[in-house]
């Protein structure tokens, strides 16, 4: 057993509080982690002995961010598409199909290296859990490969063969839905925890309510749990379908009817509405009405949707700043949605909160309070706290770290 005492925490935010903001803040705190699990929380002065100690000298500690919606496994570059969108220039670079071509053409080692780089980028910004979707393979072998590689870095993998109807199937979309719900699902399911579908009626490349239901019900029969991309581009059946089928999360939720909001509120114990404001920011689109959802009692999560087309940002602090500035959430509401709320959308109780018995997945903010996440947008204050020693301890060296070192090695 290896224990680490993290002391000198200026503000500890557990996201497990009983107050109105649920943040559970305390000052001058310490946390002890034993073999990656939190074993003690209390005042710094009462911290028990441990194998290693790190003094954070007044910094803030939060649960590591939970990014419950990402498309991290892909190859290729679509920055020209972004430039065209921002400059109002007509552009048809192929959209998702461009990424599908590049991803299919990349070998395993290339995809692994790209994914590793993105995972390091996430951790450097305080994210300790990330959900990763397939959806740029769109063939049996390519979807299965994407999930197999994603599974190497995260247990939260999602089969998204129903991301778009690939060009070669446009004239036979019913056959593509049968493939996704049949042979492709059977091959992918061993590497996935979740199944997801891009449900937007009226789109030539997305899936309508009946098609989405076919895929989701087949996924459930194969033992996967459900997530839905719904109501992003316009009104549609995504939210109602997600609630009816007991999906853990319905994501985007930009265009909602009153009945959709009522359904989400009634299902608040089982279905979370995950908002992805980075997408609206990067596509200059109207944001979802977060205040309306909170007022109705809907369970909210925040995630990045990190993907090469509509939001190539892996930054949860950026998402929190957007949620506060652009969607009117309080800093406390945004932080809660990015940690405990997002964990709930993954049906995980061991992450997203700092509690004894929970995973010691922690983020440190180089600032005296959590408010600085939204107050100082774009400033790299957050990082994941490494509480497990990466190497065997060196008896000739102190395990303490200096003021600049967050890492305990
Ligand atoms: Zn997405």
Pairing verdict, β 3-13 and 52-55: parallel
Reading the block at residue 307, the tokens are 């993907």
List strand residue ranges (DSSP E) for 231-271, in order. 249-252
State in Å: Cα 320 to ligand 1 middle.
17
φ, ψ at 266 (rounded to 5°): -65, -25
State in Å: Cα 130 to ligand 1 middle.
13
State in Å: Cα 71 to ligand 1 middle.
6
Residue 388 pLDDT: 67
State in Å: Cα 138 to ligand 1 middle.
15
State in Å: Cα 93 to ligand 1 middle.
19
φ, ψ at 395 (rounded to 5°): -65, -20
Residue 392 pLDDT: 44
State in Å: Cα 135 to ligand 1 middle.
9
State in Å: Cα 189 to ligand 1 middle.
19
β-bridge partners, 32: 5, 40
List strand residue ranges (DSSP E) for 193-268, in order. 194-199, 225-230, 249-252
State in Å: Cα 206 to ligand 1 middle.
12
Residue 386 pLDDT: 86
Pairing verdict, β 60-63 and 362-365: antiparallel
Q: How many CA atoms lie within 13 A of 77 on its CB side?
A: 3
Tokens 């997945």 — which residue?
361
Residue 204 pLDDT: 85
State in Å: Cα 363 to ligand 1 middle.
24
Give the number of other CB atoms < 10 A from CB of residue 179.
17
Q: Which helix (H) or strand (E) holds 161?
A: strand 157-162
Whole-angstrom distance, CA of residue 320 vs CA of residue 300: 13
Residue from 345, 298, 314 nearest 193 by CA: 345
State in Å: Cα 203 to ligand 1 middle.
16
Residue 90 pLDDT: 79
State in Å: Cα 245 to ligand 1 middle.
19
Torsion of CA 181, 182, 185, 186, to 10 degrees: 150
State in Å: Cα 315 to ligand 1 middle.
15
Reading the block at residue 49, the tokens are 């002995």
Residue 277 pLDDT: 98
State in Å: Cα 282 to ligand 1 middle.
13
Residue 1 pLDDT: 87
Residue 397 pLDDT: 38
What is the largest distance, in Å, between two alpha-carbon atoms of the chain?
69
State in Å: Cα 384 to ligand 1 middle.
24
Pairing verdict, β 25-34 and 3-13: antiparallel
Q: What is the DSSP string of 334-370?
A: HHHHHTHHHHHHTT-SSSSS--TTSB--EEEESSSST
List strand residue ranges (DSSP E) for 105-148, in order. 127-130, 132-133
State in Å: Cα 20 to ligand 1 middle.
31
Contact 91, 125 (CB under 8 A): no
State in Å: Cα 354 to ligand 1 middle.
28
Torsion of CA 135, 138, 140, 144, to 10 degrees: -20
Contact 134, 160 (CB under 8 A): yes
Mean pLDDT of successive 10-residue stretches along the chain, which has 409 residues: 95 95 96 97 95 96 98 96 90 83 98 98 98 98 98 98 94 97 98 97 92 98 98 96 98 97 98 98 96 96 97 98 97 98 98 98 98 97 83 42 37
């Amino acid at each position: 057993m290896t224990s680490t005492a993290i002391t000198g925490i200026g503000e500890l935010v557990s996201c497990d509080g009983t107050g109105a903001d649920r943040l559970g803040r305390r000052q001058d705190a310490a946390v002890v982690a034993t073999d990656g699990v939190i074993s003690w929380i209390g005042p710094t002065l009462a911290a028990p002995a441990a194998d290693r100690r790190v003094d954070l000298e007044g910094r803030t500690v939060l649960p590591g961010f939970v990014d419950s919606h990402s498309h991290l496994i892909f190859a290729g570059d679509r920055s020209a598409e972004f430039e065209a969108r921002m400059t109002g220039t007509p552009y048809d670079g192929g959209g998702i199909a461009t990424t599908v071509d590049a991803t299919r053409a990349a070998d395993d080692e290339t995809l692994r290296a790209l994914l590793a780089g993105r995972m390091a980028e996430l951790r450097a910004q305080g994210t300790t859990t990330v959900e990763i979707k397939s959806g740029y393979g769109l063939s049996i072998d390519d979807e299965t490969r994407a999930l197999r590689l994603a599974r190497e870095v995260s247990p939260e993998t999602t089969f998204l063969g129903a991301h778009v109807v690939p060009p070669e199937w446009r004239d036979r979309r019913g056959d593509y839905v049968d493939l996704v719900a049949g042979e492709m699902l059977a091959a992918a399911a061993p590497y996935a925890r979740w199944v997801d579908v891009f449900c937007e009626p009226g789109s030539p490349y997305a899936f309508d309510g009946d098609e989405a239901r076919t895929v989701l019900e087949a996924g459930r029969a194969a033992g996967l749990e459900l997530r839905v991309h719904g109501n992003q581009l316009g009104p549609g059946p995504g939210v109602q379908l997600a609630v009816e089928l007991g999906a853990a999360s319905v994501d985007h939720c930009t265009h909602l009817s009153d009945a959709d909001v009522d359904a989400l509120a009634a299902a608040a114990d089982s279905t979370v509405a995950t908002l992805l404001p980075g997408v609206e920011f990067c596509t200059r689109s109207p944001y979802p009405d977060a205040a309306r959802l909170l007022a109705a009692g809907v369970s909210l999560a925040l995630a990045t949707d990190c993907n090469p087309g509509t939001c190539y940002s892996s930054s949860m602090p950026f998402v929190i700043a957007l949620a506060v500035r652009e969607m009117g959430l309080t800093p406390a509401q945004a932080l809660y949605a990015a940690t405990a709320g997002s964990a709930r959308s993954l049906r995980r109780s061991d992450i997203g909160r700092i509690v004894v018995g929970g995973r010691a997945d922690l983020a440190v903010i180089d600032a005296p309070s959590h408010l600085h996440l939204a107050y100082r947008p774009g400033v790299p204050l957050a990082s994941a706290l490494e509480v497990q020693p990466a190497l065997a301890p060196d008896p000739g060296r102190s395990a303490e770290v200096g003021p600049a070192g967050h890492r305990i090695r």
